[in-house]
């Protein structure tokens, strides 16, 4: 293999990078060049090899072949510690945090030990305020939501004052206003000479932020482009070979109430959690109701109460159909037709070491015979059906859940619950970290379920997704739920303001206008 010629104008130059795993070539002869001060997108569908390539650059994975030239010098990056010493920071999509430590302690681990923990704690507070990333450095990580963990990763990376910053899906937890603020920060970093490798499935973000793009498909580079000169459709074609089909969103045909939540107030169980305050919510058959909001505003507590994991709700505050469900555990709620997709794919949605077929048994019992015997043939056929229907990329139905890319595991988990034929489906972050093709597929399945008469509640931090799926929308902020908003009245700016809890004055003003109108009449 020829030796790459060093170019001192380049921050990073990859040549011939290849990484093989048993049964799969994750990267094959990958070439990539990132200029100093450039915001460079890496685009590809789930399983295309993006994460493996980023881990090679960060020293978390060793390539089988190829060269890395950094700041004009060949380097062998043996581990993340060496990468950080070189000025390379990375924000992972799947986090690398220690649950038993606090936020500050997690950040301190990767920094110069000449800094005291108190100094690091203050620096976290300063950076969090500067970038609009609300986080308490004294909180233990096990008490954080997924979105809050991502904020910790972003702050930790920025504290390292990197020359090369790798960001993997960094905006999934931010309001539209906060996304714009983060983009301003990234543009400022780039202007100061920091190079940024940016991975996102939000094509409009790539087009708005990035000045160059490398496309991966099947572990190989299939093209490069300037995303500012592309459309979402052309980027989709580069990434997956086609444009995702447009969603068919028919007018809702609503029926009976399947979920009725009234006056639900719950004190936090975790000292760093959020109190639920007088939650009122209804979901009818044949409609999708969305809940927007920045992570950590009570969504987790609400979902625990609805799924049956938290049984402290006041009697009568949660009804499934006509039945009071407040004292029913998750299994008994499933018997009433409630199925649930949690935001955490590994650990709650699936057991990492178990095969896809056996992961069906977490929420499905069709393959259980008399006395609890598992009918393995039925179970395997069930798993194969979901894999085929959702186009899940897996070795077979016995593949361990942890062997799948995040997007493919998400498709399987969503498929598992949809395939159960629920009366009520509650799904949290349905397409978090999922490529545009897989996201379109999951959203189409949700709408098809709704059109078949299911009631669907979607909790998501992606406004684009909620705007595509929802018939009505609520916003959650500081443990309170906004009034229902018809999609015809929803705008990005309005929802972004409501995410800060600012609907109260608007609703009060609307009520006063109505009262004035009645008085005038």
Domains present along the chain, CATH in parentheses: 39-61+81-239 (3.40.50.300), 257-515 (3.40.50.300)
Average pLDDT over residues 416-426: 96
Q: Is 197 helix (H, G, I), strand (E, B) or coil?
A: strand
Percentage of the chain modeled with pLDDT above 90: 61
SS (H, E, C) 445-467: HHHHHHHCCCEEEEECCCHHHHH
pLDDT band at 99 (very low <50, low <70, confident <90, very high): confident
Q: Give the pLDDT confidence score for residue 279 in this predicted structure.
A: 97
- State the Cα–Cα distance between residues 339 and 42, nearest whole angstrom: 35
Q: Give the pLDDT confidence score for residue 22 in this predicted structure.
A: 82
Average pLDDT of the chain to the nearest whole number: 88
Residue-wise pLDDT for 114-125, tens only, equals 889 999 999 999
Average pLDDT over residues 475-482: 95
Task: Check pLDDT > 90 for residue 517.
Answer: no
Q: Give the pLDDT confidence score for residue 143 in this predicted structure.
A: 85
Q: Give the pLDDT confidence score for residue 463 in this predicted structure.
A: 86
Task: Check pLDDT > 90 for residue 178.
Answer: no
Average pLDDT over residues 137-144: 90
What tokens does 170 get?
């960094």
Q: Give the pLDDT confidence score for residue 56 in this predicted structure.
A: 96
pLDDT band at 515 (very low <50, low <70, confident <90, very high): low
Task: Check pLDDT > 50 for residue 311.
Answer: yes
Q: Are strands 338-341 and 424-428 parallel, antiparallel or unpaired?
A: parallel
**How distant, in Å, are the alpha carbons of 16, 28, 42, 102 from that of 219?**
12, 6, 12, 37
Q: Give the pLDDT confidence score for residue 173 in this predicted structure.
A: 58
Q: Give the pLDDT confidence score for residue 288 in this predicted structure.
A: 98
Average pLDDT over residues 6-30: 86
Residue-wise pLDDT for 257-303, tens only, equals 999 999 999 999 988 789 999 999 999 999 999 999 987 899 999 99
When mean pLDDT is compared across 39-53, 136-150, 500-514, the lowest value belongs to: 500-514
Cβ atoms of 58 and 80 closer than 8 Å: yes
- State the Cα–Cα distance between residues 411 and 266, nearest whole angstrom: 32
CA-closest candidate to residue 252, choices 285, 303, 282, 286: 286
Instruction: Please report which helix (H) or strand (E) contains residue 262, including its range.
Output: strand 257-266
Average pLDDT over residues 202-212: 92
- State the Cα–Cα distance between residues 233 and 284, nearest whole angstrom: 34
Q: Give the pLDDT confidence score for residue 506 in this predicted structure.
A: 60
Average pLDDT over residues 409-430: 94
Task: Check pLDDT > 90 for residue 326.
Answer: yes
Q: Give the pLDDT confidence score for residue 2 in this predicted structure.
A: 34
pLDDT band at 362 (very low <50, low <70, confident <90, very high): very high
Instruction: Please report which helix (H) or strand (E) contains residue 388, including its range.
Output: helix 376-389
pLDDT band at 5 (very low <50, low <70, confident <90, very high): very low
pLDDT band at 1 (very low <50, low <70, confident <90, very high): very low
Q: Give the pLDDT confidence score for residue 6 in this predicted structure.
A: 42
Question: How far is CA 427 from its chain centroid?
Answer: 12
- State the Cα–Cα distance between residues 185 and 261, nearest whole angstrom: 41
CA-closest candidate to residue 68, choices 13, 124, 127, 5: 13
- State the Cα–Cα distance between residues 345 and 322, nearest whole angstrom: 31
Q: Give the pLDDT confidence score for residue 112 in this predicted structure.
A: 72
Q: Give the pLDDT confidence score for residue 67 in this predicted structure.
A: 97
Cβ atoms of 453 and 285 closer than 8 Å: yes
Q: Give the pLDDT confidence score for residue 138 in this predicted structure.
A: 95
pLDDT band at 175 (very low <50, low <70, confident <90, very high): low
Average pLDDT over residues 74-100: 88
Task: Check pLDDT > 90 for residue 145.
Answer: no
Task: Check pLDDT > 70 for residue 513.
Answer: no
When mean pLDDT is compared across 167-181, 231-245, 380-394, 409-423, the lowest value belongs to: 167-181
Average pLDDT over residues 179-190: 84
Q: Give the pLDDT confidence score for residue 174 in this predicted structure.
A: 62
When mean pLDDT is compared across 175-184, 302-311, 336-345, 449-458, the lowest value belongs to: 175-184
Q: Give the pLDDT confidence score for residue 236 in this predicted structure.
A: 84
Average pLDDT over residues 500-517: 59
Pairwise pLDDT comparison (137 vs 21), residue with the higher score: 137
Q: Give the pLDDT confidence score for residue 170 in this predicted structure.
A: 80
| Full DSSP string of 402-444 | GGS-HHHHHHHHHHHHHTT--SEEEEESTTTT--HHHHHHHHH
Q: Give the pLDDT confidence score for residue 177 in this predicted structure.
A: 66
CA-closest candidate to residue 97, choices 158, 50, 161, 145: 145
Q: Give the pLDDT confidence score for residue 405 in this predicted structure.
A: 79
Q: Give the pLDDT confidence score for residue 29 in this predicted structure.
A: 97
């Amino acid at each position: 293999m020829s030796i790459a010629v060093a170019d001192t104008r380049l921050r990073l130059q990859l040549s011939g990078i290849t990484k093989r795993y048993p049964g799969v070539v994750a990267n094959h002869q990958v070439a990539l060049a990132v200029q100093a001060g450039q915001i460079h997108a890496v685009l590809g569908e789930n399983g295309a090899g993006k994460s493996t390539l980023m881990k090679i650059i960060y020293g978390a994975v060793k390539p089988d072949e190829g060269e890395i030239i950094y700041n004009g010098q060949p380097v062998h990056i043996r581990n993340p510690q060496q990468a950080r010493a070189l000025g390379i920071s990375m924000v992972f999509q799947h986090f690398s945090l220690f649950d038993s430590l606090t936020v500050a302690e997690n950040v301190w681990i990767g920094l110069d030990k000449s800094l005291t923990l108190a100094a690091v704690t203050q620096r976290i507070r300063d950076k969090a305020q500067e970038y609009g990333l609300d986080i308490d450095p004294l909180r233990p990580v096990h008490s954080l939501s997924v979105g809050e963990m991502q904020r910790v990763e972003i702050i930790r990376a920025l504290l390292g004052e990197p020359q090369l910053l790798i960001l993997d899906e960094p905006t999934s937890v931010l309001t539209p206003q906060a996304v714009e603020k983060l983009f301003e920060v990234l543009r400022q970093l780039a202007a100061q000479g920091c190079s940024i490798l940016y991975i996102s499935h939000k094509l409009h973000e790539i087009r708005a932020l990035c000045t160059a793009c490398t496309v991966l498909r099947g572990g190989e580079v299939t093209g490069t482009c300037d995303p500012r000169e592309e459309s979402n459709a052309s980027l989709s074609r580069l990434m997956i070979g086609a444009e995702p089909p447009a969603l068919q969103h028919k007018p809702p045909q609503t029926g009976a109430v399947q979920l009725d939540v009234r006056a639900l107030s719950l004190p936090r169980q975790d000292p760093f959690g959020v109190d639920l305050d007088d939650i009122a919510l209804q979901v009818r058959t044949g409609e999708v109701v969305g809940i927007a909001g920045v992570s950590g505003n009570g969504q987790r507590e609400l979902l625990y109460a609805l799924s049956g994991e938290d049984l402290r709700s006041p009697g009568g505050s949660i009804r499934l159909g006509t039945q009071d469900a407040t004292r029913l555990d998750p299994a008994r709620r499933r018997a009433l037709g409630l199925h649930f997709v949690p935001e955490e794919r590994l650990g709650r949605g699936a057991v990492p070491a178990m095969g896809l077929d056996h992961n069906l048994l977490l929420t499905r019992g069709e393959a259980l015979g008399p006395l609890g015997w598992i009918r393995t043939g039925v179970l395997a056929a069930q798993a194969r059906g979901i894999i085929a229907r959702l186009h899940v990329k897996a070795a077979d139905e016995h593949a361990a859940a942890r062997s799948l890319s995040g997007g493919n595991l998400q498709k399987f988990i969503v498929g598992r619950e949809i395939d159960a034929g629920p009366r009520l489906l509650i799904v949290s972050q349905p397409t978090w970290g999922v490529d545009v093709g897989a996201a379109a597929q999951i959203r189409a399945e949700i709408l098809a379920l709704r059109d078949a008469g299911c009631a669907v509640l979607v909790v998501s931090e992606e406004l684009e997704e909620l705007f595509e799926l929802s018939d009505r929308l609520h916003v959650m902020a500081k443990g309170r739920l906004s009034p229902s908003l018809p999609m015809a009245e929803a705008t990005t700016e309005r929802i972004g303001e409501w995410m800060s809890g600012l609907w109260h004055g608007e609703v009060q003003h609307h009520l006063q206008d109505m009262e004035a109108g009645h008085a005038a009449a």
